[in-house]
Amino acid sequence: MSQFIHTLQQVIVLYDSSKKPYKIGDVVKLKRKSLLIIGIEAFKISGIELTIWYTMQDLEFHDFIYVSPKPMLSKLEHLSVLYRYNDERFEDLQPGRTVPHRGKRYKVIEHTRIAVNKDMITLQFLATQVLPMERGIVRTKYFDEKKKQLDINVF
């Protein structure tokens, strides 16, 4: 699959309204190729520059076998935030990180949209709720660790 899935980097200077972030589903022409944006890999804000890395699919490559996505065990939630460009909380919104939302913790799975309006950035992303382990399993692990610490053998 690597021959038709690529990464594209876009740099946007904030306050410059001539350049807007791409959206998933947009088609971009690059080196006489048509590339479809299928995901947002990451983003970084440095000074007044917003750098976005996109996952792209070459629309001219058709010789591949489609594999249907596996169903998710946890339900995905669509979340969004609106921050100023220099807000440090953007660091917490990278995939794999957890964020609080309405009293629960969510793990960021994938960014779905980035929009810029002057110095404000709207970030939309998919997240799944972080669920704790079952009480019985946690209790067993806890007592096993306590036994190890105290060097107790129970017969």
Which residues is 84 bridged to in the sheet? Answer: 120
pLDDT in tens, 8-38: 999 999 887 688 999 989 999 888 888 898 8
pLDDT in tens, 58-95: 888 777 677 676 666 668 999 999 999 889 888 889 89
Model confidence pTM above 0.85: no
What's the CA dihedral at 64, 7, 78, 129 to 10 degrees? 90
Which pLDDT band, with edges at 50, 70 and 90, does 153 fall under? low
Residue 1 pLDDT: 46
- Which of 12-16, 51-55, 123-127, 132-136 shows the lowest per-residue confidence on average (mean pLDDT)? 132-136
Residue 146 pLDDT: 76
What length does the chain have? 155
Q: Where exactly are the structural domains of the chain?
A: 5-61+72-129
Q: Do β-strands 98-101 and 76-84 pair in parallel, antiparallel, or remain unpaired? A: unpaired
Dist CA 26 CA 127 (whole Å):
22
What percentage of the chain reaches a pLDDT higher than 90? 27
| Nearest Cα residue to 40 out of 95, 80, 87 | 95
Indicate whether 2 pLDDT > 60. no
